[in-house]
Amino acid sequence: MNILEAQKISKRFGTAEVLSDVSFSLTGGETLAILGASGSGKTTLLRCLNFLERPDEGRIILRGDLLYDAALHDKYDDKAIREKRLHFGFVFQSFNLFPQYTAFQNVVLARELAAKTTPEYAADKKKTIEEIHREGMEILDQIGLSNKRDFYPYQLSGGQQQRIAIARALAMRPDILCFDEPTSALDPELTGEVLKVIRSLADKNTTMLIVTHEMQFAREVADTILYMDEGMVIEYGTPEQVMDNPSSDRTKRFLERYTAE
Amino acid sequence: MSFIQVNLNLWNGFQNTLLIFALTLIFSLPLGLLISFGSMSKYRLLRYPINILIWIVRGTPLMLQIMVIFYVPGLIFNAPIASRFNAVIIAFALNYACYFSEIYRGGIQSISKSQYEAGQVLGMTKAQIFFRVILLQVIKRIIPPMSNEIITLVKDTALARIIVVVELLKEAEILATRGMIWPLFFTGVYYLAFVGILTLMFNYAEKRLQYFRA
Ligand SMILES: Nc1ncnc2c1ncn2[C@@H]1O[C@H](COP(=O)(O)OP(=O)(O)OP(=O)(O)O)[C@@H](O)[C@H]1O
Ligand SMILES: [Mg+2]
C-alpha cells in the first residue's frame, strides 16, 4: 500500500504558479529523488508537504486516509497542523541546528517537549525521558557521531552538522523523511559522509523524498525519480526510465548539464 | 558636617536612586517585551497605536514625560496622581519599556526564519519555539545594547528630582543650597561605583553565553 499519495498539489506565489498539479506516491521503504533546475519548485513542494507553505490546492493521503486537503485548510488549527507535520521529517539545506544546544540536545529536544503532554510522562517522567535519551544515543550511534554528543554545532564540521540534523529529524520517527539538497551547502569533500548516512537509511527501508543535484547518487539510491520543470512533473519513473530514456528534450538537456559536472 | 554625615545623607538619596532603578527594570523589562510583540503584530489595529506610542515616548524628553505624568492627570482630569514617586516610576517604566521594546524587536528580527522553521518541522508549538529556541539567542545578541540602556538608566534616575523626588543628586543639591558644594561632585563616585558593578555583571552574562555561537 502507498504510504503517501500527493494529489494535484498546486501553489502560487502571487500570480506566479510555482507548483501545478504535482502528484506522486510513495510506498513503504521507497526512496524518491526529485530533480529539477533551479527555481523549478522542488523546495516549495517539500515545504508544502511539511506545511511550511500552504498549498493552494491538492490533497495529501497518508496510508489511505486523507491527511490534508488544501480546501479544508482553514478548518485545521495549529495543533492539527502540528500533528500532521509530524508524519514528515525535514532536513534543510542549511542544517538549521539550534546553536545553543549540544548535538545530543538538538536530537532529543523536540521529543522531550512533545513527551510532556503524554500520559506516559505523567505516569513516570524519569523513565520517559530516559527512554528518549536512550533512543537519541542509538540514533547518534547509527549516524556515527556518538563521540560528538556534547559538541555544540559551531564545533562540528558542516557534514557533521548535517548528520546531526538528520538524527534530529529521525528522532521524531517520521513516516517520511524529506531532504532538501542535503549536501548543497557542503564542501565537496564533506558530501560523502552525508550521502553515506542517507544511503544507510535507504538500506534500512526508510521512506524518503530527496531533492538533490547529485545525479550519480540519485541513480544509485532512488527507487523512483521525479523530474520537475516550472512546477510541473515532466518525468516520473525508475532511474533507468528517467535518466537513460527521458521522454522530453528538456530533461535530456538538464541531465547532460548536471551529469557533465 | 563631617564626611561620614554627608555620606549618610547621600546614602539616603542613593537608596531612592536604587529603588527607582530597580522598579523601572522590574516593570519595563517585561512590558518592553509585550510592546515589542505589539509592534511586530500582524494586526494593524495593534501595531499602529503601539508604534505611535513608541514614537511619542522616544521622541520627547524623559523630563517632560515625568512632568506630564505627574501634573496632567490633576490638571485635566482632576485626579492628581497620588505620589510623586509613583509618577516617576510610571514615567520611567513606560519610557524604558519603549526603548527596550525596540532592542527586543531588533534582536528577535535578527534571528533567521529558518530557526523557527526548524522548530516547526519538529512539531514544536509557537511558545516552545520562542522560549526554547529563539529567546536565548536573542538574549545573547541584545546584551550589549541592553547594558548600554541600563547604564543610561542609572544616570537618568537623577531626573526624578525635577518633581522633587529626593534621589542621590537632589540630596547633594540640598547640601549645596546650605553652602556645601563638594558633595555635589562626590555623587559621581556613587554613580561610577554603581555603573562599575553593573558593567562587571554584564561582562559576566556575556561570558556565560559565550559557550555557543549564533
Ligand atoms: N516565499 C516565496 N515568495 C515568492 N516566490 C517564491 C517564494 N519561494 C519560492 N518562490 C519562487 O518559487 C519558485 C520555485 O522556488 P523553489 O525554491 O521551490 O525552487 P527550487 O526548485 O527549490 O530551486 P533551487 O534548486 O534553486 O533550490 C522560484 O521561482 C522562486 O523564486
Ligand atoms: Mg530549493
User: What whole-number distance in Å separates Cα of residue B107 and Cα of residue A227?
Assistant: 41
Q: Is the pLDDT of residue A206 over 90?
A: yes
Q: What is the β-pairing status of strands A88-91 and A65-69?
A: unpaired
User: What whole-number distance in Å separates Cα of residue B35 and Cα of residue B154?
Assistant: 22
Q: What is the β-pairing status of strands A208-211 and A224-229?
A: unpaired
**Are B115 and A113 a contacting pair at CB < 8 A?**
no
Cβ-based burial of B192 (10 A; exposed 0-12, middle 13-18, buried ≥19) = exposed
Q: Which residue has the cell 553565553?
A: B209
User: What whole-number distance in Å separates Cα of residue A171 and Cα of residue A89?
Assistant: 9
**Are B114 and A94 a contacting pair at CB < 8 A?**
yes
Ligand 1 near A39 CB (within 6 A): yes
Surrounding ion ligand 2 within 5 Å at CB are A 43
**Are B133 and A85 a contacting pair at CB < 8 A?**
no
A46: closest chain B residue by CA: B121
**Are B118 and A96 a contacting pair at CB < 8 A?**
yes
For residue A259, what pLDDT is reported? 73
Arithmetic mean of pLDDT, B150-172: 95
Indicate the average pLDDT of chain B: 95
User: What whole-number distance in Å separates Cα of residue B212 and Cα of residue A145?
Assistant: 19
For residue A162, what pLDDT is reported? 97
User: What whole-number distance in Å separates Cα of residue A84 and Cα of residue A66?
Assistant: 11
Indicate the average pLDDT of chain A: 94
User: What whole-number distance in Å separates Cα of residue B17 and Cα of residue B155?
Assistant: 9
Q: What is the β-pairing status of strands A16-27 and A2-13?
A: antiparallel
Handedness of CA B81, B86, B90, B92 (dihedral sign): positive
Residues 139-178 of A with CB under 8 A from B: 152-154, 168-169, 172
Handedness of CA B136, B137, B142, B143 (dihedral sign): positive
Ligand 1 near A206 CB (within 6 A): no
Q: Is the pLDDT of residue A130 over 70?
A: yes
B188-to-A7, A181, B25 alpha-carbon distances in Å: 73, 60, 22
**Are A52 and B117 a contacting pair at CB < 8 A?**
yes
Which grid coordinates belong to B44? Answer: 494593524
For residue A260, what pLDDT is reported? 65
Cα of B133 to nearest chain A Cα, Å: 7
A100 touches chain B (CB under 8 A): yes
What per-residue string of b and e applies to A99-120 under the rule 16 or more CB within 10 Å gives b?
bbbbbbbbbbbbbbbbbeeeee
A113 touches chain B (CB under 8 A): yes
In this predicted model, what pLDDT tens digit does every residue of A50-73 receive, in sequence order?
A: 999 999 999 999 999 999 999 999
For residue B115, what pLDDT is reported? 97
In this predicted model, what pLDDT tens digit does every residue of B3-38 receive, in sequence order?
A: 999 999 999 999 999 999 999 999 999 999 999 999
Arithmetic mean of pLDDT, A216-224: 93
A-chain residues within 8 Å CB-CB of B137? 99-100
- At residue A261 the predicted structure's pLDDT band, cuts being 50, 70 and 90, is low
What is the predicted ipTM?
A: 0.93
A179 touches chain B (CB under 8 A): no
Ligand 1 pocket: which of A40, A211, A212 to mutate (most atoms <8 Å of CB)?
A40
- Helices B84-110 and B135-156 pack at an angle, to 10 degrees, of 150
In this predicted model, what pLDDT tens digit does every residue of B99-126 receive, in sequence order?
A: 999 999 999 999 999 999 999 999 999 9
Check if the beta carbon of residue B47 is closer than 8 Å to that of residue B39. yes
User: What whole-number distance in Å separates Cα of residue A41 and Cα of residue A24?
Assistant: 15
Q: How many CA atoms lie within 13 A of A166 on its CB side?
A: 30
- At residue B82 the predicted structure's pLDDT band, cuts being 50, 70 and 90, is confident
For residue A14, what pLDDT is reported? 93
3-class SS of residue A15: coil
Check if the beta carbon of residue A131 is closer than 8 Å to that of residue A139. no
- Helices B168-177 and B3-39 pack at an angle, to 10 degrees, of 140
In this predicted model, what pLDDT tens digit does every residue of A7-34 receive, in sequence order?
A: 999 999 999 999 999 999 999 999 999 9
- At residue A250 the predicted structure's pLDDT band, cuts being 50, 70 and 90, is confident
